[in-house]
Chains A and B, each alone.
Chain A
Amino acid sequence: MPGPLSGDRHDYPRQRINRAPSPVLAVAAPWVLVMLGSLASLLPLVASAPVLPPLGFLFLMAWQQLRPGLFPVWAGLPLGLFDDLFSGQPFGSAMALWSIAMIGMDYFEARFPWRGFALDWLLAAGVVAAYLLLALTIANLAGGATPVQVVLPQLAVAVLAYPLAARIVGATDRFRLIAVRQI
């Protein structure tokens, strides 16, 4: 294939024989990426309305669709716990909702193992919509009184941001599998 990449390869040949990916990087990168998504509240943005998509949740779903089985089914609990520390939702909201999402997506994976990106996106849109509405209900039960229309812009942003999250997850997947370790 012609392109700048092949030229680079000739200039800087990467040794491929007796190299393997680093196991630490390969295992840790997915968890770290999801937790970075949960830290989005530290972004240089102080919002007066819910505008950001739930980035940690989007990353988790994108990992589940790209590499089913990479995260254990119970990963929703620890990752949700981390998200709850920063999200502002009542504590336990993400722990419960992310656990349900992981179990549900595991079931979906067994039922529809072969699917294209359009179906991935559709599934992600449905799960994100359910997640945001349930999170709103939980926040309202715990003292808020937010009407539903406040989350609709956020839902639209989240659905449109899913392909971007999937690209970031794909790039991280390639990064974590770079053969850096010498055997």
Chain B
Amino acid sequence: MLPPANRRPGYSRRAQYGNFLGYLIAFTGLAVGAGVLLISTGNSGAFSTGRTLASDVTAPAGELAAKGRTETRGVLATLGGFFTSGSHVAKLEREVAIARVQLREAEAIRHENTQLKALLKLAEQDPRPVAISRLIGSTSASTRRFAVLGVGTAQGVKVGMPVRSPLGLVGRVLEVGRSSARVLLITDTESVVPVRRASDGIPAFATGRADGSLQLRLINIGINPLKPGDAVVTSGSGGLYWPGTAVAVITELTRDGAIARPLSDPGSTEFVEVQPLWTQPALSADLPAPPGASPPEPQ
């Protein structure tokens, strides 16, 4: 149906002006929105004050929801356990028997490691966490992957600090409020993590694909030496992320790298820890490598 040509609400001047003013504000609002969008597209840090303030206000509700999430998972796991516990126990017993043997071997290796490190005068690097918190929310309706932490400047959290769970790297802090912080998850398409293969140290970059997986791009292009099942850890190059944090396991290969599944699922971790910023030791600056020399291979 064609709309009537005369869209006046009646003879009341007041109603007519009100109607007109409504449309005027609507189109002005559209222009304002587009203007704000232009500013924030150029500078993603603009308007972060409003965002952090809003997340500070809603953080207590998020904490409650996060607790609920953990408890729901516990209930579901208990229900599932009734059906699967028998086979699980048998499998675990087999694994424990193997693990006991490997533990003895690992102890010997660790002992040897400390001796070798003492020989090389390498300091043991073990970062003390700045803060420990729950992930209290995430942008589950947007294509960008951010999460919100329940700690902020009051607990000493600063922009750029890496965030990890017991299972592996989660992301890094992007914006900090008084009692909450926004985390860029490693699965976001803007996140780039320098990684290396855990077994032999082949360097690569891990970027997010926004669907829960990571794209690994090798730095040395050529023959792709990666295999499904390989684990990658952070390399620490460039600073920011502490070296040796577990990141992902490769699931399938691509032409110039691989697609990997992150080890730490932010949805199933209860607590995450915020680590201090990693700065590369000054050792490499003191001893510049002679031209043409290859860096020493870790044995």
Where the two chains meet, the residues of A that have a C-beta atom closer than 8 Å to any C-beta of B are 39-55, 72-74, 76-77, 80, 85-100, 102-103, 107, 110-114, 135-136, 138-147, 150-151, 154
Q: Tell which of A93, A98, A140 has the most Cβ of chain B within 10 Å.
A: A93
Residue of B nearest to A78 (CB): B29
Interface contact A144-B26, CB-CB below 8 Å: no
Interface contact B26-A110, CB-CB below 8 Å: no
Contacts of B3 in A (CB 8 A): 107, 110-111
> Which residues of B152-195 are within 8 A (CB) of A?
185, 187-190
CA distance A107 to B2 in the complex (A): 11
CA distance A110 to B251 in the complex (A): 53
Contacts of A90 in B (CB 8 A): 37, 40-41, 44
Interface contact A74-B25, CB-CB below 8 Å: yes
Interface contact B143-A48, CB-CB below 8 Å: no
Cross-interface CB contact of B135 among A46, A86, A96, cutoff 8 Å: A46
CA distance A151 to B275 in the complex (A): 32
Interface contact B26-A74, CB-CB below 8 Å: yes
Contacts of B267 in A (CB 8 A): 45-48
Cross-interface CB contact of B40 among A77, A80, A85, A92, cutoff 8 Å: A92
Known: A41-B138, A95-B29, A146-B189. A46 touches B266 (CB 8 A): yes
Residue of A nearest to B261 (CB): A48
Interface contact B140-A99, CB-CB below 8 Å: no
Where the two chains meet, the residues of B that have a C-beta atom closer than 8 Å to any C-beta of A are 1-3, 7, 22-23, 25-30, 32-41, 44, 46-47, 50-51, 54-55, 58, 61-62, 65-66, 68-69, 72, 135-148, 185, 187-190, 209-212, 262, 265-267
Residue of B nearest to A47 (CB): B140
Cross-interface CB contact of A87 among B7, B40, B136, B142, cutoff 8 Å: B142
Q: Tell which of A40, A73, A80, A140 has the most Cβ of chain B within 10 Å.
A: A73
Contacts of B34 in A (CB 8 A): 92, 96
Interface contact B69-A91, CB-CB below 8 Å: no
CA distance A95 to B190 in the complex (A): 23
Cross-interface CB contact of B142 among A72, A89, A147, cutoff 8 Å: A89
Cross-interface CB contact of A95 among B32, B72, B187, B189, cutoff 8 Å: B32
Interface of A is mostly: helix
Contacts of A140 in B (CB 8 A): 143
Q: Shortest distance in angstroms between A61's beta carbon and chain B's nearest beta carbon? A: 14
Beyond known contacts A42-B136, A103-B30, A145-B189: 9 more, CB 8 A cutoff: A45-B140, A74-B25, A86-B58, A96-B33, A103-B26, A103-B27, A110-B7, A111-B1, A142-B40
Interface contact B37-A44, CB-CB below 8 Å: no
Interface contact B33-A139, CB-CB below 8 Å: no
Q: Shortest distance in angstroms between B203's beta carbon and chain A's nearest beta carbon? A: 22
Q: Shortest distance in angstroms between A58's beta carbon and chain B's nearest beta carbon? A: 10
Which 6 pairs of residues, A with B, have the shortest CB-CB distance? A88-B139, A95-B33, A77-B29, A92-B36, A92-B37, A96-B33
Q: Shortest distance in angstroms between B55's beta carbon and chain A's nearest beta carbon? A: 8
CA distance A91 to B217 in the complex (A): 31
CA distance A87 to B3 in the complex (A): 36
Contacts of B27 in A (CB 8 A): 103
Residue of A nearest to B185 (CB): A48
Known: A46-B147, A50-B143, A73-B23. A99 touches B33 (CB 8 A): yes
CA distance A10 to B185 in the complex (A): 57
Contacts of A107 in B (CB 8 A): 3
Interface contact B37-A93, CB-CB below 8 Å: yes
CA distance A90 to B30 in the complex (A): 15
Q: Shortest distance in angstroms between A137's beta carbon and chain B's nearest beta carbon? A: 10
Known: A92-B36, A135-B143. A143 touches B44 (CB 8 A): yes
CA distance A47 to B188 in the complex (A): 11
Contacts of A141 in B (CB 8 A): 41
Contacts of B262 in A (CB 8 A): 48
Contacts of A110 in B (CB 8 A): 3, 7
Interface contact A150-B141, CB-CB below 8 Å: no
CA distance A89 to B143 in the complex (A): 8
Residue of B nearest to A80 (CB): B33
CA distance A113 to B1 in the complex (A): 8
Residue of B nearest to A102 (CB): B26
Cross-interface CB contact of B210 among A44, A49, A77, A94, cutoff 8 Å: A49
Interface contact A49-B211, CB-CB below 8 Å: yes
Interface contact B50-A95, CB-CB below 8 Å: no
Cross-interface CB contact of A92 among B35, B58, B69, B141, cutoff 8 Å: B35
